[in-house]
Amino acid sequence: GQQVMQIPQYQHVQEGEDFTTYCNSSTTLSNIQWYKQRPGGHPVFLIQLVKSGEVKKQKRLTFQFGEAKKNSSLHITATQTTDVGTYFCAGSSGTYKYIFGTGTRLKVLA
């Protein structure tokens, strides 16, 4: 079945440093979404990417969808302590069913 892997599994950064998480799907995706889950909380939607090669920005966050629509990345510039949490990508092959990636847990050291 479809698998969605993320690297790294964990990342510790000093506040102010940049952070990137990479998402790779075993199959071609129709679209990909990104979610953030704070410790003890539930996932919260960040963004959806649909087009091949698409790049979207939200303040310090930059999201990219690969040309082959099998990979994606999330880059955070100048991390802040509020960025702490686990970031999940979630891919769909064209239905409303999304398979979540393995997640990247980010810790930001003040």
Partner 1 sequence: GAVVSQHPSRVICKSGTSVKIECRSLDFQATTMFWYRQFPKQSLMLMATSNEGSKATYEQGVEKDKFLINHASLTLSTLTVTSAHPEDSSFYICSAIPQLNTGELFFGEGSRLTVL
Residues that bind partner 1 (CB under 8 A): 1, 31, 33, 35, 41-45, 48, 88, 90, 92, 96-103, 105
Of 60 and 105, nearer to partner 1 (C-beta) is 105
Q: Which distant-in-sequence residues (6+ apart) come within 8 Å of 79 by Cβ?
A: 13, 15, 16, 17, 18, 19, 60, 106, 108
DSSP state of 42: -
Least distance between partner 1 and beta carbon 95 (Å) = 9
Q: Quick one: residue 46, left, alpha or beta (phi over 0 = left, psi -120 to 50 = alpha)?
A: alpha
CB of 78 to partner 1, least distance (A): 26
Least distance CB 70 / partner 1 (angstroms): 18
Residue with Cβ nearer partner 1 (8 or 16): 8
